[in-house]
Structure 1
Amino acid sequence: MEQSQSPYYTRTAQWLHWIMAIIFIVAYAIGFYSGNFLSYEVDGSFKGSVITLHKNIATVIIFLVIIRIFWRYTHPVPKLPDSMSPMMKSFAHMGHLALYFMLLALPITGCLFSWSAGHPAPVLYLFEIPRLVEANDDLLYIVKPLHIYLSWAAGLLLIGHILAALKHHFIDKDNVLRSMTRQGK
């Protein structure tokens, strides 16, 4: 992927970034809430409704991340600041790859979790992703904890991503955060 001479991401890349960030954070919060604070024994139908909401929102990420990856690799990205060391630039690239991996792995393991438990994987209450597996306790035993562990790792990556952006903006005073929020004149 080539780097752009422009200090800004394209407007499309910016919109995809922020829309996906909002969807991810909302889906994450709902999933965290339903997984840690609701119980089927106490409030089963409410928990089921909350999990259904989580799935309807989170599955959208599968479609958006495919569009975003295509966009990213067909449009140059802004050059990282010269003040960053080669090692820090490598960490930045690895961090972005890890985020893209999580944006794919979480909804995929979520769908597998849902299907292996015998439930659908709905998208925005409009349609369901076709089932690729039938109910399967052996698969459920693997994908349920995998989805949960990946969600914790994704949460940590997200916090790191936000902290890095804030560090660039407030401490380094470079253009990294602005490259995702502004356009040139």
Structure 2
Amino acid sequence: MNDNRGYTAIAKLLHWLVALLIVLAFGLALVMTDIPGITPTKLKYFNWHKWLGVTVFGLACLRLIWRLFNEPPALPAHMKPWEKLVAHGGHLALYFFIFAVPFVGYLYSLAAGFPVVYLGVLPLPVIIGPDPALKPVLKEAHELIAWAMAFVVAGHAAAALKHHFIDRDDVLRRMLPGGNR
């Protein structure tokens, strides 16, 4: 960990952009799965959901590369060892989810026989063919890990708010635009 008090502007941009896109994709998933039958609107929402997922995956790749070459600031000295362990575990879980949720969703779409065409113009590689046996497994996996991610994201947000309002340290401020650097 470095001694800088904040994150780089690029780290902040990637953090908040990925967070926004995940919230949009999750919200869209809740809406689209509530639409009965197959309608043009539902199909449009499915495509938007896939495009958001592909974008999250791409940004996650950039974020991981940035993270490998730009050490984050150290956690506050007042944190107990178990709190630091939970914080690191939570961050690892978030990185896992920002890769796993879109990738499993991509595999689910392929197993369902729907290749992904990013933004309607860029066909992504078809790495598995339609598979009626695998389709429900991947659908369930995508949904379960998406809900698990939502739980971890909620914990992450709650921890940031705890740092800000209870601990009164700079953990949240240093990730906010214009925050400590």
TM normalised by structure 2 equals 0.95
Mean Cα deviation higher: 24-33 or 43-52: 43-52
Aligned residue among 71, 77, 102 for 1:76: 71
1:82 to 1:144, Cα distance in 2 relative to 1, 3 A: same
Structure 1 residue aligned with 2:35: 38
Equivalent residue number for residue 13 of structure 2: 15
Residue type of the alignment partner of 1:69: L
Matched-pair contact (CA < 8 Å) for 1:59–1:122: no
Distance 1:168 1:72 in 2: 22
The 5 A counterparts of 1:49-64 are: 49-64=44-59
- Given that 2:174 and 2:180 are in contact with CA atoms closer than 8 Å, whether structure 1 keeps it comes out as no
Is structure 2 residue 97 aligned with structure 1 residue 99?
no
Q: One-letter code of the match for 1:72? A: R
- Give the Cα separation in 1 of the matches to 2:161 and 2:146: 22
SS at match of 1:84: coil
**Contact 1:115 / 1:133 at 8 angstroms: preserved in 2?**
yes
How far apart, CA to CA, are the structure 2 residues paired with 1:112 and 1:94? Answer: 26
The number of equivalent residue pairs is 180
* Runs ≥4 residues deviating over 6 A: none
What amino acid is the match of 2:36?
A: S
Is 2:162 the partner of 1:167? yes
1:126 is displaced (CA, Å) by 3.6
Cα deviation for residue 44 of structure 1 reads 2.3
Give the distance between the partners of 1:177 and 1:124, measured in 2 at CA: 34
Tell me how far apart the structure 2 counterparts of residues 132 and 78 of structure 1 sit (CA, whole Å).
38
State, as a whole percentage, how many aligned pairs show the same letter. Answer: 34
Letter in 2 for 1:38: I
Match of 1:132 among 121, 127, 135: 127
Matched residue type, 1:145: E
Letter aligned with residue 12 of structure 1? I
CA-atom RMSD in angstroms: 1.3
- After superposition, the Cα gap between the structure-2 partners of 1:184 and 1:175, relative to the gap in structure 1 and judged at 3 Å, is closer
Give the Cα separation in 2 of the matches to 1:125 and 1:173. 46
